[in-house]
Structure 1
Amino acid sequence: MSTQSAAESLSAPFFIRGSLVEGDQVTHRSRDLAADFHTPTLDLDIVVSSRSELPPLLNVGLEEIVDFLVETGQRLQLERNPHMRLCLDRVAATNPLPRRVVENLYLAAPHMLTRASLWSQVEANFADPNVLDGWVTRTDARGNKGAIRAFPPRMVHMLAGNAPAGCIASIAQGALVKAVNLFKMPSSDPFTTVAVLRTMAEIDATHPIVQSMSAVYWSGGDEAIERTIYRPQFFDKIVAWGGGPAIQNVIKYLGPGIQLVSFDPKSSISMIGRETFQDDAILADVVERVAADTTIFNQEACLASRFVFLEADAGQAERFCAALVQRLGVDRLFGSAVAPLPPADVRDEIDVMQAMGDEVKVFGRLDGRGIVLLSEEPVDFAPTNKTSNVVMVDSLDDAVRYVNVATQTIGVYPDDRKAQLRDRLASAGGQRVCRVGTANSHVDGGPHDAMYPLSRFVHWMGDDDISDTNSNCAVSSDSVARTDPIVL
C-alpha cells in the first residue's frame, strides 16, 4: 500500500451483476474523516433492471442459495482473501473505527454465513419456508382454495456506515429472499460490499445470486440520481440503515408502490439494580459489563449503551461512576482504548456541566478514553464516543418512563429482573432486553428493531382459486352472515 498513490489506494469500484466496474472519474469525500475517495461514473441504465425480466433467483432453491452463501463465508477468511485485506487498508482511511477493530469485524465475518445462522433466519421469519421456493396452497374454513408465494422483491439497500462487515448480513438477507438488490454504499465504507461481491463472483460470476447483486456509491441527497432510482417502476422497497437525516431524505420519495423498511437511529440503555452493591466483586463485574456494552464500536452502534439507570444513593452512584470511567478506557475486541472525541457541541455541553458542577457530576476527561456524567435526570443530548450518562433512580420501575420506541437494546442486572420488567418495557416501546454485558450477542433468527425483516422484504402474492362464483353473493340473511367484509 505504501507504494500506491492516494488516488489508487482510495479507489472505490462498483460491482454490477457479476462485473467489476472500475474508474476514478468522480471524487467524493467521506463524512466522518473527510477523506477523498474516487469512483466510476454511475450509469443508471445498467444499475436498474426492467420489471419485464423475472428475478434471476426466482426458481433457484433455497438449499442452493444457502450452500452458495456458506461457501462465500468460508472464502471471506481474512488471511486468504486478498479483496478483504485490500479493503481493510482502504476502510481505515474513511471509517472512524480503528483499523484493529475493523480487522476484528472482518475476522468475525465468516460466522455470519454459517448454515445454522442462515436457516435460523429463514425459519424464524416464515412459518412455512416453502413459500420462498414456490406457490403454497391453502384452503380456508369455507373450502375456498388459494395459493401464496413470498415473491422476490426489488430492493435498494441504504447500508449503514458505522459497522464495516454489516453489509454481509444485508447481502445474505437479499439472497435468502431472492431479491434483485442494489446496495448503496456509505461514504465511511464504500469498499467492503464490493469486496464481498467480488469474492462471490470468483465462486461463479454467472450464478443467479451474483446476477442479483449490484453495489454502487452516490452522495446521499443527490436528487438527480435518487428521483430516478427511487421509483416503483424499478423497486418495491427501500431498506434504509442510517441516521435521522438519511431516513428523512428517503421518506420524501415514498409513494404508492414503494415501501420503506427502516432501521432508523436507535439508542440503548442499561438498567442496574441495587443488588450491584452487595460486595466489591459484584460491583466490579457489573461495571465491567456496562463498560463492555457502552464501548461496542466505540459507541457508534445502536445497541451500545448510552444511559445507565442505576438504583443507588449518591455515594453508591459515585463509586459506580468512578469505577466505570476506568473501564471505558480499555481495548476491547470491537472497541478501542482511545476513541475519537465527541462532536464539538457535545464537548461544549460537557464543559459547561463540568464548570457548573451542581446538577451533573463529571468523571474523567475529554481525552478519548471515556467520560461519565452522573445526574438525577438524563442529559438532553445523545451521549456518544464513549460517553455514559449514569442516572440515579429510586427504582428500575421508575426508569421505564425513559424508554420509548427509539430504545433498542436494554441490558438488565440482576438477570432475574428482566422477566419482571420486559412487558412494561415492550409496552413503552423497547425492542430487546438482555443480560447486561451481552448487548453485542444475539439469538440467531431473532427480531431486529421490533420486526422480522425477511418477511417484510418479500412481495407477498396471493392466487385465489375460488370455483363457486356465487360463494360471496349475499342473497339472504344467512348468506350475508357468511360473506367476507368488503375491503377497499
Structure 2
Amino acid sequence: MNAILPPLAGPARVRHVIKGQVIEGDSLEYGREPNRFTTPALDVGALVWPRPTPTPAADVPVDEIIDVLVATGDVLKRDASGALAQAMERSVAAGFYPRDLVETSFAHLGHMFSRTSMEFMIAQEIGGKDLLDGWREVTAPSGRSARVRAFPCRLLHVIAGNSPGVAANTVIRGALTKGAHLLKLPSNELFSAPAILAALSEAAPGHPVARSFSAAYWRGGDEAVEGLLFRPQYFDKIVAWGGESTIKGALKYVGPGLELVAFDPKTSISLIGREAFASEAALEAAAEAGAHDATIMNQEACTASRFQFIEGSIEQIDRYCERLQAKLGRARRSASAEPRPIARSLRDEIDGLRDLEDYYRVWGGYEGRGLVIRSDEAVDFYPEGKVVNVVAVERLEDALRHVNVATQTVGVYPPQRKAALRDLLASAGAQRIVSLGAATPEVGLPHDGFYPLHRFVRWVNDEG
C-alpha cells in the first residue's frame, strides 16, 4: 500500500459511497476524543433502489461479475492512489486493534477477491452459475415441469467491526448474488468498506456491480433513519452481524416481506484429548494449535476459542497451560504481539480466583501477553483479551454440557477424535467442528449454520 494522500489531521473523515459514487464531506460529527469522526450529510432517499426496477446487476453474467471482483482485488493490492493505506491509518488511529494486526488485515483484503474462491462459493452455496444467470429447468415427481432461479434481493447489511474482512466478504457475496446492497458502517470499523467500494468503482467505473452498493454511517438505533429504511418496500432482508443489541435492534423491524439473516454472537471452544501428552512433540503441537485458535483477531472473533476442555492428570494439564500461556502473546497473521492490558473488570474476576488455589491456578499477568486459568469447572465470566480458561475433564464428552446453539466453532485435538464427537456436538447445537488450529473460517462452507449465498437470494419458481 502506498500512502500518498495528505497526512491525517483532526477528526477522522469518513467517506460514504452511494451507488458507486464516493461522497466526501464533514456535515455531521460523532464520537468523542480520541475517536471523533465526521461524515457527509445523510440522504436517506439516495440509499434505496426503487422497486419494481430490477437491481442494477440482475442481468450481468456471473462470469463478468467475477472478472470485476478479481480486478477489484488487483486494485486493492496495488493501492496506487493510497486510499487503502489511508483507510488503514485511520483504523490504526482509532485504536481498536494494534498497528501490526491492522496492517496485516488490510494487506490481506485484496487476496480475498480470488477467482478460485468465488467459483467454489457459487458451486457449494448456490449449486451452479446457471441458477444465478437464469432459470434451471427441473421436473417434479408429478411430471410437472418447473424452472427455478436464485433471484437477486435488496439487502441492508448491518456489518460487524471486528475485522475488515467482514466488509470484503459482504461485497463479494453481495456481488455474486447480483443484489442491491446498503452497508451500514460500524463505529469501530468505518474505513474498510468505503475503501473496498472505491476500489470496485476504480476497477469498473459505472459498472452495474459498482452501482449495486452503497455504504454509509448513521448511529445504530436511530429511528429517524432506520424507521424509514428498514421497510419491505425498500429491502427484502436485513443482514445483521454483531452483539445482542444489534440483533434485537434489527428484529423489531422484521415482519412480512422483511426477513432477518443473522450472524449473531457466538462463542467458540476447544476439546483436547489426552493424546496431547503422548510426547513432547504432541504437547507442543497441541499448545501451538490451541494458541492460534484462541487469538484470532486478538480473541475478538467469534471463531476464537475462550474455553479449552482437556483430558489428563492435573500435572499434565498444568504443563499444557504453561506452554499455552507462553504462546498466546506471539504474533500471527490474525493476532498481534503488541500487548493490550486486560480490562479492570476482568482483572477483578481473576484476582478472586488467585485466592482459591485449591480450585484454580493462573498463569500470566494482566499486561495482555496472554493469561490462562485452569479449573475443574468453566468460569462464569467471559474470557477476552487473550485470556483462556482451560477446564479439566475426565472425557471430552463431558464438555458437551457446555455446548449450545451459541457455540460456533469447536476445535478438536487430535483430529481423529472428531468423528466420534461431531454428531454429539452438532446435536448439542455446535455449528462447526474443526481440527484444533484450523478455526480460521473458509469461504464456501456454512457460516453460523447456513450458506450465506443461499440466504442472500430469493428462490423463485416458474411452474407448469
Give the TM-score taking structure 1 as reference length: 0.91
Residues 140-149 or 429-438, more deviating: 140-149
Counterpart residue number, 2:251: 251
Counterpart residue number, 1:157: 157
Query: Shift in Å at residue 329 of structure 1?
Result: 1.7
Query: Shift in Å at residue 441 of structure 1?
Result: 5.2
CA deviations on 1:264-303 (whole Å, 9 max, x unpaired) are 1111111101111122222122111111111111100111
**Equivalence map 1:177-216=2 (5 Å):** 177-216=177-216
Aligned-partner Cα distance in 1 for 2:246–2:228: 17
Query: Shift in Å at residue 340 of structure 1?
Result: 2.6
Q: Does 1:455 align with 2:454?
A: yes
Counterpart residue number, 1:21: 23
Counterpart residue number, 2:171: 171
Query: Shift in Å at residue 139 of structure 1?
Result: 2.3
Does the Cα contact within 8 Å between 1:339 and 1:385 map onto a contact in 2?
no
Equivalent position amino acid for 2:116 in 1: A
Query: Shift in Å at residue 354 of structure 1?
Result: 1.8
Aligned-residue sequence identity (percent) comes to 43
**Equivalence map 1:275-424=2 (5 Å):** 275-424=275-424
RMSD after superposition: 1.7
Does the Cα contact within 8 Å between 1:78 and 1:84 map onto a contact in 2?
no
Does the Cα contact within 8 Å between 2:77 and 2:111 map onto a contact in 1?
no
Structure 1 residues 3 and 452, CA gap change in structure 2 (3 angstroms):
closer
Kindly tell me the number of residue pairs found equivalent between the two proteins: 460
Structure 1: tracts of 5 or more residues without a match? 466-488
Query: Shift in Å at residue 95 of structure 1?
Result: 4.6
Aligned-partner Cα distance in 1 for 2:127–2:338: 46
Aligned-partner Cα distance in 2 for 1:3–1:206: 29
Aligned-partner Cα distance in 2 for 1:81–1:263: 33
Equivalent position amino acid for 1:447 in 2: P
Counterpart residue number, 2:50: 50
Aligned-partner Cα distance in 2 for 1:5–1:15: 22
Does the Cα contact within 8 Å between 1:339 and 1:386 map onto a contact in 2?
no
Aligned-partner Cα distance in 1 for 2:6–2:378: 47
CA deviations on 1:360-406 (whole Å, 9 max, x unpaired) are 22111111111111111111122111000000000111112211111
Aligned-partner Cα distance in 2 for 1:280–1:318: 14
Aligned-partner Cα distance in 1 for 2:34–2:376: 38
Give the TM-score taking structure 2 as reference length: 0.96
Aligned-partner Cα distance in 2 for 1:118–1:36: 37
Equivalent position amino acid for 1:452 in 2: Y
Residues 446-455 or 346-355, more deviating: 346-355
Q: Does 1:5 align with 2:25?
A: no
Aligned-partner Cα distance in 2 for 1:441–1:134: 30
Aligned-partner Cα distance in 2 for 1:202–1:283: 49
Residues 133-142 or 168-177, more deviating: 133-142
Structure 1 residues 119 and 35, CA gap change in structure 2 (3 angstroms):
same
Aligned-partner Cα distance in 2 for 1:386–1:289: 14
Partner of 2:13, secondary structure, is: coil
Counterpart residue number, 1:483: none
**Equivalence map 1:82-161=2 (5 Å):** 82-161=82-161
Aligned-partner Cα distance in 2 for 1:80–1:333: 24
Aligned-partner Cα distance in 2 for 1:376–1:142: 59
Partner of 1:382, secondary structure, is: coil
